[in-house]
Structure 1
Amino acid sequence: MTDRLFTETLLDAVGEDLLRSRLSEDFVRADVGAQTVAPLLTFQALSDLLSTHQLEPPRLRLHRAGRPVPLNDYTEPVEASGVARRLVRPEALYEQLRNGASLVLDGIDRLHPPIRAAADDLMRLVHERVQVNLYLIWGDSHGFNTHWDDHDTFIVQVAGTKHWQVHGQGTRPYPMKEDTDHSHRPPEGTVWEGVVRPGEILHVPRGWWHTVTGTGDVSMHLTFGFTRATGVDWARWLVDRLHEVEFARTDLPRFASPEERRKHQHELLRHLLDLAEQHGIDDFLADRDSRFPRRQSFSLPWAVDGSTPGPDTVMEFTPILPSALREESEKVALTVAGRRYAFPKTAQPLLEVLVKARTLTVAELAERAGVPVDTAAALARTLVRHHLVLLK
């Protein structure tokens, strides 16, 4: 199942050390089987997406030999609701693909439920936001030159084959998107080289140079990209907390003596170090998790008309990451996307089951929590109004 592709299937193939020592640090290759990844995307499903969504550059774009294909070669200007758009012309797209262009579609996880489920699963594994891009090419050409990415990636080969050369970390280890130096060079040689086939998954860490070319056949792969928290992010978080410190809010003594400016600087450093001691990395990561966004999803008509769901109505918990329940006097609370929600203590058994199961019917929730179905339905009616569950 796509909603367990990473947390179960990949971990079973690679081992638990993937997270402890290899994630973001080492190239990883695993074969989970073509039949495992086949449900992610088929050519028919892709054709349907292109037919039913008005996708246009830069979200959908073509590249050939390291350069973008001119828009006029495969799109035409149109006007929709008074807004100028670029419409992809099917016959022109086919011709460009026949001539070796590579099609890129960003954010396909927001369009296709099986890929969205896999992306959510990866988010639960790495506790970072994930975006999935599609890459499709025919022939033996390449869309991009040798390059590195400013984020970690899992490459999932869905159809056909592609030739990969993974060169490794360049002359500037751990480069970032917002970095002071983007002029670093790739290393000599390769860490791994080979042909990737359907069912194979590659993990290429941030900053690792790689070269990817077609093999003469078709190739369709998905890139699951995510950016992990760094020491820079923790430092920024601490600096934001300086707003709570009165001394930090005072003006810098620009026109004071050098000695007074030094004293002011030392006092600022003392407050910053105090904050670092009080709010360590664990606190930062916990706060980051508590602010993790939900998927943009909707539950109509339930969330508007307030109707009571029946026993067979399916409930799906919307928070992507597991939510920790906290007992607070006569209430139980959880924080989702930076917002705290409090419920009567009697709701705790129901919430514990829902957080763990994530998807189940109202009747199943009631049975597992040991409460009447009407009680579970009433909670579902409340949760859907706050976008904590979807009802289906």
Structure 2
Amino acid sequence: MTDRLFTETLLAAVGEDLLSTRLSEDFVRADVGAAAVEPLLTFQALSDLLSTHQLEPPRLRLHRAGRPVPVGDYTDPGEASGVARRLVRPEALYEQLRQGASLVLDGIDRLHPPIRAAADDLMRLVRERVQVNLYLIWGDSHGFDTHWDDHDTFIVQLAGTKHWKVHGQGTRPHPMKEDVDHSHRPPQTAVWEGVVRPGEVLHVPRGWWHTVTGTGDVSMHLTFGFTRATGVDWARWLVERLHEVEFARTDLPRFGTPEERRKHQHELLRRLMDLAEQHDLDAFLADRDSRFPRRQSFSLPWAVDGATPEADTVVEFTPILPAALREDGQKVALTVAGRRYAFPRAAQPMLEALAEERTLTVAELAERAGEAVDTAAALVRVLVRHHLVLLR
């Protein structure tokens, strides 16, 4: 199932040390089987997506031999609701693909439920935001030159084959998107080189150079990309906390003596060190998790008309990461996407069941929590209005 692709299928193939020692540090190659990845996307499903969504550059784009294909070569100017658009011409798209162009579709996880479920599963594994892009090519050409990505990736081969050469870290380890040096070069050697086939999964860490080319066959793969928190992110978070410190808000002694400026700097450093002790890495990561966004999803008509769900209504918990419940006096609270929600303590067993199982019918929720179906339905009515659950 796509909603367990990474937390169960991949971990079973790679081993539990994927997270503790290999994630972001080592190239990983695993074969989870073509049958495990086939439900993610078929050519028919892709054709339906292209037919039913007005996708246009830059979200949908073509590349050939390291350069973008001019949008005028495969789109026509158009208009939708008074807004100028670029509409993809099917016959022009086909021709470009026959000539070796690579099709890239960004954010396909926001369009296709099976890929969205797999992306959510990866987010629960790595506890970072994930975006999935599609890459499709025919022939033996390449869309991009040798390059590195500013985020970690899992590559999932869906159809056909592709040749990969993973060079490894270049002359600047762990480069970032916002960095002071982008002139680093790839290593002369290769960590791994070979042909990737349907069902194979690669993990390429951030900053690792790689070269990808077609094999003469068709190739369709998904890139699951995510950016992990770094020391730079923690430092930025600490700086935001400095607004709470009165001394940090005072003006710098620009016109004072050198000794006054030195003393002021030392005091700032002391206050910053105190702040770092109070707000350590665990506090930063917990705060980051509490602000983790929910998927943009909707639950009509229940969220508007307040109708009572039936016993067989399916309830889906919307927080992507496991929600930590905290007892607060006579209430139980959880924080989702930066907002705190408080409920009567009596609701705790039902909230715990939803957080653990993620998807239950109203009747199953009531049974798991030892409550009456009417009681579970009443709680669900409240949860759906606050976008904490979806109903189907």
Partner of 2:26: 26
Aligned partner letter, 1:81 = S
Instruction: Name the CA distance, whole Å, in 1 between partners of 2:146 and 2:218.
Output: 20
Instruction: Name the CA distance, whole Å, in 2 between partners of 1:5 and 1:102.
Output: 26
Partner of 2:234: 234
Instruction: Name the CA distance, whole Å, in 2 between partners of 1:23 and 1:223.
Output: 15
Partner of 2:176: 176
Once the two structures are superposed, the pairs formed by residues 68-87 of structure 1 within 5 Å of their partners are 68-87=68-87
The two structures, once aligned, show a CA RMSD in angstroms of 0.4
Instruction: Name the CA distance, whole Å, in 2 between partners of 1:323 and 1:196.
Output: 37
Partner of 2:286: 286
- The alpha carbon displacement at 1:175 in A equals 0.2
Instruction: Name the CA distance, whole Å, in 1 between partners of 2:388 and 2:116.
Output: 18
Give the percent of matched residue pairs that are identical in Structure 1 and Structure 2.
88
Instruction: Name the CA distance, whole Å, in 1 between partners of 2:322 and 2:82.
Output: 43
Instruction: Name the CA distance, whole Å, in 2 between partners of 1:350 and 1:34.
Output: 38
Q: SS in structure 2 opposite 1:141?
A: coil
Aligned partner letter, 2:107 = G
- The alpha carbon displacement at 1:363 in A equals 0.3
Partner of 1:150: 150
Partner of 2:300: 300
Partner of 1:209: 209
Q: SS in structure 1 opposite 2:48?
A: helix
Q: TM-score, normalised by structure 2?
A: 1.00
Aligned partner letter, 2:229 = A
Instruction: Name the CA distance, whole Å, in 2 between partners of 1:80 and 1:134.
Output: 25
Instruction: Name the CA distance, whole Å, in 2 between partners of 1:328 and 1:84.
Output: 52
- The alpha carbon displacement at 1:79 in A equals 1.5
Instruction: Name the CA distance, whole Å, in 2 between partners of 1:126 and 1:186.
Output: 27
Consecutive unaligned residues in structure 1, runs of 5 or more = none
Aligned partner letter, 1:24 = S
Instruction: Name the CA distance, whole Å, in 1 between partners of 2:173 and 2:223.
Output: 22
- The alpha carbon displacement at 1:371 in A equals 0.5
- The alpha carbon displacement at 1:80 in A equals 1.5
Aligned partner letter, 1:386 = H
Partner of 2:357: 357
- Once the two structures are superposed, residues 195-250 of structure 1 have per-residue CA deviations (whole angstroms, 9 ceiling, x without a partner) of 00000000000000000000000000000000000000000000000000000001
Once the two structures are superposed, the pairs formed by residues 177-192 of structure 1 within 5 Å of their partners are 177-192=177-192
Consecutive unaligned residues in structure 2, runs of 5 or more = none
Partner of 1:340: 340
Once the two structures are superposed, the pairs formed by residues 1-392 of structure 1 within 5 Å of their partners are 1-392=1-392
Q: SS in structure 1 opposite 2:164?
A: strand
Q: TM-score, normalised by structure 1?
A: 1.00
Instruction: Name the CA distance, whole Å, in 2 between partners of 1:374 and 1:109.
Output: 35
- The alpha carbon displacement at 1:189 in A equals 1.4
Instruction: Name the CA distance, whole Å, in 1 between partners of 2:357 and 2:195.
Output: 39
Q: SS in structure 1 opposite 2:186?
A: coil
- The alpha carbon displacement at 1:10 in A equals 0.4
Runs of 4+ deviating beyond 4 Å: none
Number of equivalent positions = 392
- Once the two structures are superposed, residues 285-326 of structure 1 have per-residue CA deviations (whole angstroms, 9 ceiling, x without a partner) of 000000000000000000000010000000000000000110
Aligned partner letter, 2:13 = A
- The alpha carbon displacement at 1:82 in A equals 1.4
